[in-house]
Amino acid sequence: MFELLQCRKSLMIIFLALKFFFMFISLSEARVHNYTWDITYQYKSQDCYKKLAITINGMTPGPVISATEGDTIIVNVVNKLFMENVAIHWHGIRQIGTPWMDGTDGVSQCATIPGDTFTYQFVVDKAGTHMYHSHYGVQKESGLYWLIKVTVPAGKSDPFKYDDDDHSIVLTDWYHSSSYEEATKLTSVPFVWIGEPQSLLVNGRGKYDCGNLTTNVCDLTNPECVPYSLTVVPGKTYRLRIASLTSLSALSFQIEGHNLTVVEADGQYVEPFVIKKPDSSRNYWMSTNVVGRKPQTPPGLAIFNYNPNHFNKIPPTIPPPGPAWNDTKSRINQSLAIKAHRVFIQSPPSTSDKVILLLNTQNTIQGRTRWSLNNVSHTLPHTPYLIAQRKNWTDVFDQTPPPESYDFQNYDIYNVPGNTNSTSSTSFYRLEFNSTVDVILQNSNTMNVNNSETHPWHLHGHDFWVLGYGDGKFNMSSDVKWYNLVDPIMKNTVPLHPYGWTALRFRADNPGIWLFHCHIEAHFLMGMLVLFESGSEMVGEPPQ
């Protein structure tokens, strides 16, 4: 069994131990991949329930972008959403020197209006399993997302072996209400929670309990919701690229009766570690379960099919249960278990130039429920930061940077805050170019008694070293001693566990202004984000 956090993605898994690998200098020529994507609304029945989804060339999930490290991707995004704008973020692509292409509305661009086309052009700088998804309002949850698969260039090879082509498994959660309904609830006074998703999908397929709904609303025989089935041959070793693109849920993932070995995360090789499964006899479910929140969404199921059985034959067993949803300790341990592959260690700087301590709290601003960092709930300006900064428009955003710490002597992270008032701001942190920065994420109790949530934090434009995770309140003098400075993995997304802390280090070496935020759609909309500016005066001209 293996647990996946919402954005702990790009895990390549093999069933057999590693043997050896080779590494060559690549002399092959980089290629250009050109796509044109019509973005339209279409009725889809991914979990048998018919609802309006946002599609790419008629499809949700969208197409897989397949390329080799160093290649250039060009995507002409044609907005045909009638009245709705669009922006697409290339999650895991660092956009080195191309901050305009990051696809974040309010930061790198204005969202593209209906009838218009925005051309994204960027280099996929690092092999691995990356993702793309809408980065505009809560549009992602309408289904505008999928994978970017970047292979190693000729002359290089992966530090593990497998027999077959690799396969992708993407996990998503699925709401039946529209993104406008979700956004309306989340911003209403009094606050209305959107609730848990109706379904978990494996490769865009799920099964909703249609109950008494008529078949034109919910139809279990709709071919669009036939469970995904992965056909394999006994005895072979497979590489699976597993990604989670959920809007809310943290997930586990398991294949009944099989051990999985984690070999890569966020485009970096890791020391392989086996995720154990109790032995099972034959025929198999792949399943995914909600963890970190009390599950109210049924598991997502797919079929692990051994050739020559029929690919959609239902396994005779009951799907295995997922891990205990509230076993935070195990999840912290799993987080700690991920280390850089010994041959691919990129050592972090031994010290940092600046430390930013970010306490996340749940708050109220003018009756609206919000999330804050150091008591500041962030909103994006109407004019994208990059443009405002370039044009020196000082009235677009708050010029005073937000606080770099909180009152860690006195703040009680285990209780509901006494005063939930907060302020909103469009300010950002200014980092000296090429400086090394530590960020310590500190979790706390929400406005509900005995509740602290998991937050997957994602940094744009950079990878960071993951120096440590811990329970309780981070202690600046004692916890830093436990930092892993030897073989920390570099990632772009990391979990912050309930009542815990997570420590990161990164070098501010990519000129621009970059988001760092909780990847849960609702939390992002509610202000759980900060921005890092560094060397933005070096950024070139915006695209046409």
Residues in Cβ contact with 20 at an 8 Å cutoff, skipping those fewer than 6 apart: none
Q: How far is the CB of 338 from a copy of itself (least distance, A)?
A: 35
* Residue 52 contacts a copy of itself per CB under 8 A: yes
Q: How far is the CB of 179 from a copy of itself (least distance, A)?
A: 7
Calpha distance 309→299 (Å, rounded): 24
Three-state secondary structure of 423-438: EEECCCEECCCCCEEE
Which residue's entry shows tokens 């505009």? Answer: 136
Closest CA to 460 of 426, 498, 423, 428: 428
| # binding residues, a copy of itself (CB under 8 A) | 30
Calpha distance 127→149 (Å, rounded): 8
Phi, psi of 57 (to 5 degrees): 45, 40
By three-state DSSP, how is residue 285 classified?
strand
* Residue 213 contacts a copy of itself per CB under 8 A: no
Q: How far is the CB of 439 from a copy of itself (least distance, A)?
A: 28
Q: How far is the CB of 100 from a copy of itself (least distance, A)?
A: 18
Phi, psi of 151 (to 5 degrees): -95, 165
Tell me the per-residue interface mask from 268 to 287 with a copy of itself, x by CB under 8 A, - otherwise: --------------------
* Residue 193 contacts a copy of itself per CB under 8 A: no
User: Do residues 144 and 88 make contact, with C-beta atoms less than 8 angstroms apart?
Assistant: yes
Calpha distance 191→181 (Å, rounded): 13
Q: How far is the CB of 213 from a copy of itself (least distance, A)?
A: 12
- Tokens in use for 453? 């949530």
- Residues between 86 and 145 that touch a copy of itself (CB under 8 A): 106, 110-111, 113-116, 136-139
Which lies closer to a copy of itself via its Cβ, residue 83 or residue 318? 83
Calpha distance 120→111 (Å, rounded): 12
Q: How far is the CB of 40 from a copy of itself (least distance, A)?
A: 8
User: Of these, 84, 264, 521, 533, which contacts a copy of itself (CB under 8 A)?
Assistant: 84
* Residue 382 contacts a copy of itself per CB under 8 A: yes
CA distances from 137 to 42, 182, 367, 526 (A): 19, 10, 21, 10
By three-state DSSP, how is residue 359 classified?
strand
* Residue 42 contacts a copy of itself per CB under 8 A: yes
User: Of these, 38, 125, 166, 181, which contacts a copy of itself (CB under 8 A)?
Assistant: 181
* Residue 180 contacts a copy of itself per CB under 8 A: yes
User: Of these, 26, 121, 151, 178, which contacts a copy of itself (CB under 8 A)?
Assistant: 178
Which lies closer to a copy of itself via its Cβ, residue 323 or residue 381? 381
Q: How far is the CB of 135 from a copy of itself (least distance, A)?
A: 11
Which lies closer to a copy of itself via its Cβ, residue 127 or residue 380? 380
Which lies closer to a copy of itself via its Cβ, residue 181 or residue 224? 181
Which lies closer to a copy of itself via its Cβ, residue 349 or residue 381? 381
CA distances from 54 to 107, 111, 133, 484, 540 (A): 23, 15, 11, 42, 32
* Residue 393 contacts a copy of itself per CB under 8 A: no
Residues in Cβ contact with 260 at an 8 Å cutoff, skipping those fewer than 6 apart: 2, 13, 15, 240, 254, 274, 275, 277
User: Of these, 20, 22, 82, 193, which contacts a copy of itself (CB under 8 A)?
Assistant: 82
The stretch among 162-170, 181-189, 203-211, 316-324 that binds a copy of itself (CB under 8 A) is 181-189
User: 125 exposed, middle or buried (CB, 10 Å; 0-12, 13-18, 19+)?
Assistant: middle
* Residue 425 contacts a copy of itself per CB under 8 A: no
Interacting residues toward a copy of itself by CB under 8 A:
40-43, 52, 81-85, 106, 110-111, 113-116, 136-139, 178-181, 183-184, 188, 381-382
